[in-house]
Structure 1
């Protein structure tokens, strides 16, 4: 029951959130996803394809995605699998404001991922209407089209009621393969879809690059055979923590410079010097008067003043040279 029972304990959800939250605080919805899209396309396309037996390495995957260069000696179906992932991930990120956990959204992801490999192309982007088996498992998914459609609706309803992004992500990773909603490509669909709640919450995605393939399969078998998510949960948590660390670093590297650092560079440096040498602290009203006198437009005033405050708070003996100050100048300075 969403909100009452949990696959992921609160302590684990908090640990995942702390790991996945971008450095530097809140940013506009979707911004994080668009900043790290290029790397996510390579990482998730490679890892998810690898988990299906694809033999492209990550460098070959990057060349295929960026330059359309197929690896020599490889089955073209492998290139198609990777390019399908690229299309599905791009679709999610480019439509992040509108996309959700609705029937058309998951159908679209499945359609993009299954473009080509299905024996019956008409089954791409639609629910399964025939029985299927699970390799290495005695579990038999539902085989009645009406019941499958009903259970898919129940699954979507429950998923939409989950408010925690990690619980929602893990729920998708469990239940799309368990239901086997589609004729094939269920696990791939679940891996891409499991990133929707993370990206919509502007936290680091799950790239699956660090996930142990055999433990992942064992985790799914535990779900199929025993209705037990414990092993898959352990694999998910470990893989996410590794993935989040990479994307936290990447986010820092691609962070766009503050406008004030470029457009109002000279003013900001002069303002910091005055805060240190004259005000001995951050004086908002005095800085505002300085900014107005310097001709800073009204629309930029608060942003520029906030930037000066950030620079002042981060001032120390190792970087005072930026402002043509000496370390002794910091004595008595209130940087609070």
Structure 2
């Protein structure tokens, strides 16, 4: 029998090890990759010899972990290195702690800071969209890639098993095959679309974040009454000695105070980091707090027309340690380094995308909401163009160039780009199959 390694893609094993977030057994990897145990062991043997994977333990205790080519400690500062050493201690050697309200109360917007001020200023300067544009313009301009990037990256940090390509296919179909991972991804997509629409109109409010949570956890919580509701149940966080407060009145008070202080922060990048850290630390909801905090961090960025934050290329273990450093020690040094690295990656990607698109069309910006309404009327409600324009009360005399823009957009509309008009792929495909009636 040949002992050659089967033709299996090593990326499958790399992705599986990343999803585990901890050393994994060969049987766990077989379950994640769909390969046989023999195939997995042969492939892992080759990857161990190549230095891609580290093997520890023996027999049934053998575990495999991805070897970092550029581990965070190579560039980490002294504070981050010290924090990482403390977090590497066994749980039994770490002192149990609970929520400390002074971490929030001693923060004074625009006077005290979580991010180093030079870093926050630098990132905010690079992140802003050129020109005076309505809030949310940047996010809407890059909406299609943002939906994929942020939905997949955030879900992956929760252990979601979908690949990036499978996520793109799921979004193209617009329907769920019924598994929880698909529901999680589609919930992220709807939540991001909600933010792009709602943030410019409502800003950072309690109702907005509660609705954000409800969208993210729809059909994933056993008790639907917990959607968007400040929790009244005990929550526990894995792999940490931190115990969040279980007092509902304190949760309500601190949740409102987090939003109040975030609204008063002038630097949008500092505000994004503040929200991300404090919402995760407070754990105001029964479940989905980290998901909510990641998307909520984008609210100040949208309000100031800054590049969105998609958490691309963040490893689950690095993310967990950044959060646990805050939970147990109120130390943001690892969180700062992770945030800065992932936001720089987002900046590079979305800056290039915007440059490739050219300057925004002034007609499109002026009539953005009306264009959305008219296209929905034509595609979803099956009204004629004349009827839709009559409802909008726009004519060539009052809105020169609008009809030409509308006709151009309708000609390009398809299931893969319909989200920007708040249309579902199913409704759009039905309209296309009907011959694009106008």
TM-score (norm 1): 0.73
37-46 vs 247-256, greater mean Cα deviation: 247-256
Q: Distance in 2 between matches of 1:69 and 1:150?
A: 39
What displacement does 1:152 show?
1.4
Matched with 1:59 is 165
Q: Distance in 2 between matches of 1:9 and 1:219?
A: 16
Matched with 1:115 is 218
What displacement does 1:247 show?
0.1
Residues 212, 235 of structure 1: 8 Å contact kept: no
What displacement does 1:202 show?
0.9
What displacement does 1:156 show?
1.7
Q: Which structure would you say has the larger Rg?
A: 1
Matched with 1:30 is 136
Matched with 2:232 is 129
Cα distance change, pair 258–140 in 1 and its aligned pair in 2 (3 A): closer
Matched with 1:284 is none
Q: Distance in 2 between matches of 1:213 and 1:5?
A: 29
What displacement does 1:68 show?
2.4
Equivalences for 1:152-171 in 2 at 5 Å?
Answer: 152-171=255-274
Residues 128, 304 of structure 2: 8 Å contact kept: no
Equivalences for 1:62-141 in 2 at 5 Å?
Answer: 62-68=168-174, 76-141=179-244
Residues 177, 190 of structure 1: 8 Å contact kept: yes
Matched with 2:285 is 182
Matched with 1:293 is none
Matched with 2:358 is 255
What displacement does 1:35 show?
1.1
**1:56 alignment partner, SS class:** coil
Residues 60, 70 of structure 1: 8 Å contact kept: no
What displacement does 1:223 show?
0.3
What displacement does 1:254 show?
2.1
Matched with 1:233 is 336
User: How many pairs align?
Assistant: 259
- Listed as ranges, the gaps of 5+ residues in structure 1 are 261-298, 301-336
What displacement does 1:259 show?
7.7
Q: Distance in 2 between matches of 1:141 and 1:233?
A: 22
Q: Deviations over 1:30-62 (max 9, x none)?
A: 222211111111110000000000011111111
Q: Distance in 2 between matches of 1:130 and 1:32?
A: 38
Cα distance change, pair 12–120 in 1 and its aligned pair in 2 (3 A): same
Residues 176, 183 of structure 2: 8 Å contact kept: no
Residues 218, 227 of structure 2: 8 Å contact kept: yes
What displacement does 1:203 show?
1.2
- Listed as ranges, the gaps of 5+ residues in structure 2 are 1-107, 364-398, 401-438
